[in-house]
Amino acid sequence: MSTPHNSAGKEDIAKNVLMPGDPLRAKFIAENFLENPRLVNEVRGMYAYTGEYKGKPVSVMASGMGMPSMGIYSYELFSFYDVENIIRIGTAGAISEKLHLRDIVFALASCTASSYADQYGLPCRPAAAASYSLLKKADAAAEALGKKPYVGTVLCTDTFYNDTGNLADWQKMGVLATEMESAALYYNAARTGKNALCICTISDCPLTGEECSAEERQNTFNDMVRIALESCV
């Protein structure tokens, strides 16, 4: 089994997959958290590794940035590699005033203006929501690790640089943070009958100007990785 975007064999990908956006973050996770990791894909520089965590096979594969890229890779994993669970582990920008750098957010739901769901031909845009089974496991894992994530709605946008300047308006709807991949992941999981969850660490606060460095984004944020891995065992 291979696709135009993934040269791995079907047997090379585990049923549980962690998906950071950055290929170098995938490499960092594999080398620092998995036992016996092996590189199973490097097509287009989208590294995928499979190893073991506490004796259970786990894969980590980059998704790239944005819904189109996440849409391709997660769809192929669900549909052609029989992956059951995908947990996105990435960064997000804080919208809620109660969030600070390095806080962890579980995306219970994802609101978006993207046309991604138009492909389903429905009379309205379906809800993009996390799988309760994964959310429940992640919540238990966070508690066991002594972490207190925020759980709620995120905004999934097609634009990183937004000229409208209306980010603060989403506070009125209780939206916690903004990122760029969760909605496509949740739609693909729903469409294929699989499970998905988005766990993000706050890397910047657009409304205050605070932000983490590129190196910190790539090589730290380990708490969300541990939570995601514990959710796979």
Q: How far is CA 28 from CA 7, 20, 49, 53, 95, in A?
A: 21, 10, 10, 15, 28
pLDDT at site 126: 94
For the chain, the domain total comes to 1
* CATH number of the domain where residue 122 is located: 3.40.50.1580
What are the pLDDT digits (tens) for 35-52?
999 999 999 999 999 999
Residue 118: CB atoms within 10 Å: 9
Show the domain range for 49. Answer: 10-230
pLDDT at site 219: 65
Looking at the annotation, which residues are catalytic? 204
Percent of the chain with pLDDT over 70: 98
pLDDT at site 163: 80
Contact 116, 183 (CB under 8 A): yes
Residue 6 — φ and ψ, nearest 5°?
-150, 115
What are the pLDDT digits (tens) for 177-186?
999 999 999 9
Flag whether 5 is in a domain: no
What are the pLDDT digits (tens) for 127-172?
999 999 999 999 999 999 999 999 999 999 999 887 877 888 999 9
Average pLDDT of the chain to the nearest whole number: 95
